[in-house]
Structure 1
Amino acid sequence: MKGLVFTEFLNQVEEQFGLETLDKVLYSSNLNLKSGGVYTAVGTYPHSELIGLVQELSKEAKIPVPELLKSFGKYLFTVFEKNYGSLFLSIRTSLDLLEKVESYIHVEVQKLYPDAELPTLEKSRISENCLLMVYKSNRRLADFAEGLILGCAEYFGERLSIIKEDLSNGEGREVKFTISKI
């Protein structure tokens, strides 16, 4: 997983929970982190380290892991918008952007970071106001993906209804999102 994800997660923890909480999370996690809890935006790290950090934050903040992952997805979308907003200029709605993630956004990410391991997103536009997306990844970060979807909706000033269905017998490797504009 790219270091940008880690550095921004740590930024979010510091902003929303404070430096003391960030230090506790890093200290508690440090025994299990190959990186020692030190990340650079361009580095590549095991996704298990992110999960470990989120689990430690969950214990410290008493917030469920899925809720933290969603919150981080929303936060990271704002970072993407600030850093890569030019990619969004010709796109008018959240569903239009979500429809282009696999064919456009992920292609651009691979150009910048050839070693990035991205989830697969299959999509099907049901109507102007409804999109089906199937998230596939062994990393099991569908809650994080949902947060990115919610961040996208906020960026476009839209409200979305999101229905999640796990297609992998509760493993989280394959999750269908039915996304509708409200």
Structure 2
Amino acid sequence: MKGVVFTEFFELVETTFGEDVLDDIIDKADLDSEGAYTAVGKYDHDDMVKLVEALSAEINVPVPELIETYGKYLFGRFVVIYPGFFDGVSSTFSFLSRIDNHIHVEVKKLYPDAELPVFDAIINGPKMTMTYDSKRPFGYLAKGLINGCIEHFGETIEIIRADISTDMTSATFELEAR
């Protein structure tokens, strides 16, 4: 998992809950890295799971809710960090349908060792079906990213999420524009 996911998570935690909470969850997560991440490094996704579980215990918010909230935040950060990905895109469906064939191709150019999830998107009028498939258990992160995309484009779209796997590595998202 790319380090930018960790550094942005730390930024969110510190900004929202304070430096003491960030230090506490790093200590409680018992990380091999001791919480030292660089944006361009590559790290084990289990570290993120440990960090989110530690934050959940610290602030008494369920893990899925935290991961989804982080996904929404992360999308907003991607808009700032990678503005070129949004050039010429004017809607949620347009952006989401470009993830695998455009955005992930560009990400691979920047980070050749990145192990990216697969997002298969099918648009049918005011509806879109997205399938998320990954080696990592971040279906809720995907939903948060989708919600962040919807918010970014200022649209009203309902999302229904259904798990394909029990370990959160695969899910479908039914999106319907309102």
Distance 2:75 2:10 in 1: 15
Distance 1:75 1:21 in 2: 18
CA drift of 1:85 comes to 1.3
Distance 1:161 1:71 in 2: 17
* Aligned-pair Cα RMSD in Å: 0.9
* Structure-1 residue corresponding to 2:92: 94
Deviations 1:41-85 (A, max 9, x none): 011000000010000000001001111111111111111101111
Structure 1: stretches of 5+ with no match in the other structure: none
* Structure-2 residue corresponding to 1:27: 27
* Structure-2 residue corresponding to 1:60: 58
1:10-49 alignment runs, 5 A limit? 10-29=10-29, 31=30, 33-49=31-47
The percentage of counterpart residues that share the same residue type is: 43
CA drift of 1:28 comes to 0.7
Aligned with 1:83 (options 81, 86, 105): 81
* Structure-2 residue corresponding to 1:137: 134
CA drift of 1:2 comes to 0.4
Distance 2:97 2:58 in 1: 36
Aligned with 2:176 (options 166, 177, 180): 180
CA drift of 1:138 comes to 2.2
CA drift of 1:117 comes to 0.6
SS at match of 1:158: coil
TM-score (norm 2): 0.97
* Structure-2 residue corresponding to 1:155: 152
SS at match of 2:98: helix
CA drift of 1:124 comes to 1.1
Contact 2:27 2:34 in 1 (8 A): no
What residue identity is the alignment partner of 1:137? S
Deviations 1:86-132 (A, max 9, x none): 221201101110011111111111110000111011121122x2110
CA drift of 1:173 comes to 2.1
SS at match of 2:41: coil
Contact 2:6 2:39 in 1 (8 A): yes
1:146 aligns with 2:158: no
Distance 1:70 1:121 in 2: 17
Distance 1:95 1:154 in 2: 12
* Structure-1 residue corresponding to 2:106: 108
SS at match of 1:121: strand
TM-score (norm 1): 0.95
Distance 1:172 1:141 in 2: 6
User: Aligned residues, how many?
Assistant: 178
Displaced runs of 4 or more, over 3 A: none
